[in-house]
Chains A and B, each alone.
Chain A
Amino acid sequence: MIAEWAVVGLAVATAAAAGLVGCFAVMRRMALAADALSHVALPGIGLALAFHVNPLAGALLALFAGAVLVWTLEERSGIPVDTIVGVVFSAALAVGSMMTSGEELIEVLFGHAGGVSTWELVFGLAAAALAITFVIRTRHRLVVALVSPDLARTSGVNLRRLNLGYLLVFALTVALGLRHLGVLLMGSLIIIPAATARRLASNLTQMLALSVGVAVVTTVAGLVVADRLHREPGPVTVTMAAGIFALTFLGRRR
């Protein structure tokens, strides 16, 4: 097992990745879809537990399969992502719940505090670095694509590749937070800080910075407060993030 500071470091890296990835999910009007996509990890974890494989590997496979499914259906059928996700991923949650049970299910759904293995730490930091790098490097292409896919196309952007890349990075970010926040709450860490930043920011750079700030601060505060209150950190973190979002309604509105 790894020291506590490393656990905090991994949680902070995860939060930073979630904050960045979430900005484009919120601006692309896929907040609900993004949240539900995280549910698809559950059947993967259930299968991994049944076959005595690392649950994270099962979750990652299921999430990647979910991301590719969304991408394929979006490309081929033209059905809005929300509809696809609403049907397929809610079903995944139902199937996954039947495959896991009791204490295990609660942990998988809401996450739990505790140490991580060296393998998980290395994977987590590498995955967070990958997600952060992806969003920073592709942010200009993502901006043009969200304003108008046709403009992106005439600007030489490969939209299919960009969309697939974004969905895979989104899936990876969900996988990153599963241990800490669980299947149900990781989507919230991606969406709520970004939604908060959107209400406060005046430009793109501000939005990205604010979103990362809110995600990191609530994650660290969540760990500290949960420890004091003897609660799991996931629900505490998400409640705090939602509280900050609510506070933005008291302040200015652009």
Chain B
Amino acid sequence: MTAATGARTAVLEVRDLAVRFGASEALRGVSFEVAAGTSLAVIGPNGAGKTVLFRALIGAVPFAGEVRWAPGTRLGYVPQRLDLDRDVPITGFDFLQARIRIGGGRPDAATRAARAVGLSIDAWRTPIGALSGGQFQRLLVAFALLGDPTVLLLDEPTAGVDEPGQEQLNELVHRLQIERGLTVLLISHEISVVSRYATQVLCLGRASAHVGPPAEMLTEASLRRMYGASLGLHHHDHDR
């Protein structure tokens, strides 16, 4: 199913996307469009291929079908929590500096990106494998911002982050989206976050993919169809 993007220009068009790993099929028949400046939340049970979808979109895995980014699109990718050795002596500064040297702006851009995401000065000097979950995710967002992206892809950016930190990260992404006019693609298990920030929701099931506005996609019946008996999504009591 394809979502209409209305009058806005489509930043991303995906048609019949399929990904196979040997004999196993990770994704099949996924089609959607994302309009400029909007947020697409990707939800679905574990193993439905959410991360595979993102990796296909950034060209990290071979796929069949069509993925078309609008000309001039610059991607900022925030992967899931990475498995890093605590003692690798690469600091937050080394990491951001590396992005700048690859081609991500002026030397002072690292300081500005760190300030924009509220990265602490300690994180600047700490080996990145030893950072707390929240600080590490902020570092990854800062890294993504250094490429001056027009689209942010965030793969469960709040996984492994404590609850106040999650709230701050979600607000941070939302603020950046408004300030910079970014298009956001977000994988999340947090139904409250999805209903609050998403313009469209792509629900990936093991055998199907549906896309629509949150009001349609987040009904209990539709979620139960996708997730089965145990929903596997997180509701918050203090939900807005």
Contacts and interface: CB of A to CB of B under 8 A. Distances in A.
Given A147-B84, A154-B147, A202 B101 contact: no
A106 interface: no
Given A147-B82, A148-B82, A150-B55, A141 B87 contact: no
B103 to A, nearest CB: 6
Interface string A37-76: 0000000000000000000000000000000000000000
A46 B56 CA distance: 46
Interface stretch (B72-80, B157-165, B209-217): B72-80
A147 B77 contact: no
A254 B90 contact: no
A202 B98 contact: no
Contact of B87 (A146, A154, A199, A205): A199
B127 interface: yes
B197 interface: no
Contact of A204 (B75, B89, B103): B89
Given A151-B77, A154-B147, A143 B58 contact: no
Contacts of A179: none
Interface in B85-127: 85, 87-91, 93-95, 97-99, 101-104, 125, 127
Contacts of A205: 94
Contact of B94 (A149, A150, A153, A204): A204
Contacts of A29: 85
Contacts of A202: 89, 91, 125, 127
Interface string A175-197: 00000000000000000000001
Interface in B134-156: 140, 143-144, 147
Interface in A116-166: 139-141, 143-144, 146-151, 153-157
A21 interface: no
B88 A27 contact: yes
Contacts of B84: 147
B37 to A, nearest CB: 20
Interface residues of B, number: 33
A143 B77 contact: no
B40 to A, nearest CB: 17
Contacts of A139: 98
A140 B98 CA distance: 4
Interface string A191-233: 0000001110111111100000000000000000000000000
A148 B77 CA distance: 11
A198 B85 CA distance: 11
A150 B58 contact: yes
A203 B98 contact: no
Nearest to B77: A154
B6 interface: no
Nearest to B78: A151
Given A148-B82, A153-B58, A141 B102 contact: yes
B60 interface: yes
Contacts of A156: 102-103
Contacts of A203: 89-91, 93-94, 125
A198 B86 CA distance: 11
A53 B203 CA distance: 64
A207 B55 CA distance: 32
B192 to A, nearest CB: 28
B98 A141 contact: yes
A199 B89 CA distance: 8
Given A29-B85, A153-B59, 8 more contacts: A140-B101, A147-B95, A151-B143, A154-B75, A156-B102, A199-B87, A202-B91, A204-B89
Interface of A: 27, 29, 139-141, 143-144, 146-151, 153-157, 197-199, 201-207, 254
21 contacts: A29-B85, A139-B98, A140-B101, A143-B95, A144-B98, A147-B82, A147-B84, A150-B58, A151-B140, A153-B59, A154-B75, A155-B102, A155-B104, A156-B103, A198-B87, A198-B88, A199-B87, A201-B89, A202-B91, A203-B125, A206-B89
